[in-house]
Amino acid sequence: MAPSEELKGPEANALPDTATLPAELAALYLCMPPAQLADLRKSKRPEKGGSTGPSTIRPVEGGPSGPKDPVLYQLGTLRDYAKAHTAPSDFDTALNSGMLGWVSAKLPFFAEREPRIKRGKRVLIGGAWDRADPLREKRFIDLAKGRIRFTSLTCAEAATSLWADTASHAAFAEKGLALLKAETQAIEASLAATRDLAAASTPDAAA
C-alpha cells in the first residue's frame, strides 16, 4: 500500500480528531472490510440505538478534468463510532472460530515497510484488528505516514512468519499451538475409541 497522502494533521505522536483517513485506512481502523464501510456510507438510516455510520468528508475535485479525490473520514468521527460499537468484529470472530478460522480467514497485520530478508519476506509487527493493543493508535500513525504497511494473512501464515519482537510472536503463536494441541488430543482420543471398538468386536472379546 502506498503511503497515505490524504492524511492531514501535525507530525506528532498523537493524531487530532480533525485528522482525516482515506476509506481503506478508515475501514481498517474500524475493524471492518472496506465494502462494509462503503455500505455504511451509502446508508442514510440510523442503526438500532440511534447510531449512524461514520460521516464522509467529500473534498473538492482535484482539477477540471481529473476525478474526484477519495472520500475521507474524520478521525474523531471514527473514534466515536468505534466507542459506540464494541461488539466483536468479523476479524475477532475469525480469530476465535477454531482451526478452520485459523487456517482460512485472512486478517490484517501491521508489517515493516521493507523486507529484512531475501525473497521479500515482510516482518510482522502486530494484529491491525486488535483494538486492545495499547500501541494500536501509534501504529496507525506510522501506517498513515507510510512508515509501516499492513498485509492480509491467515493466522497460520502469520504464526509462521517473522515478527519484529519475540514476545508478540510468542503470544500470537501460543493460540495456534493451543489449537493444534486440542486437535491432536481429539484425534488421539478418536483413535483410542476406534481401538476399543475394534477390540470389543473380536470373537475373543465376545467369549
Mean of the pLDDT values across residues 5-13? 47
Tell me the CB-side half-sphere exposure of residue 144, using CA atoms within 13 A: 29
Cα angle, residue 68 at apex, residues 63 and 69 outer, rounded to 5°: 100
User: Each residue of 48-87: pLDDT tens digit?
Assistant: 554 555 555 443 333 344 455 577 888 888 888 888 888 8
The SS3 call for residue 172 is helix
Q: For residue 188, count CB atoms less than 10 angstroms from its CB and return exposed for 0-12, middle for 13-18, buried for 19 or more.
A: exposed
pLDDT score of 12: 44
Q: Decide: pTM greater than 0.85.
A: no
User: Each residue of 134-154: pLDDT tens digit?
Assistant: 888 888 888 888 899 999 999
pLDDT score of 9: 45
Q: Of 156, 162, 189, give the one whose Cα is nearest residue 175.
A: 156
- Alpha helices (runs of H) in 85-135, residue ranges in sequence order: 90-95, 99-104
Q: How many CB atoms lie within 10 A of CB 94?
A: 20
Mean pLDDT for the chain overall: 78
Q: Which set of grid coordinates corresponds to residue 36?
A: 462494509
Q: What φ, ψ does residue 141 adopt, rounded to 5°?
A: -60, -50
Q: Of 139, 129, 131, give the one whose Cα is nearest residue 164.
A: 139
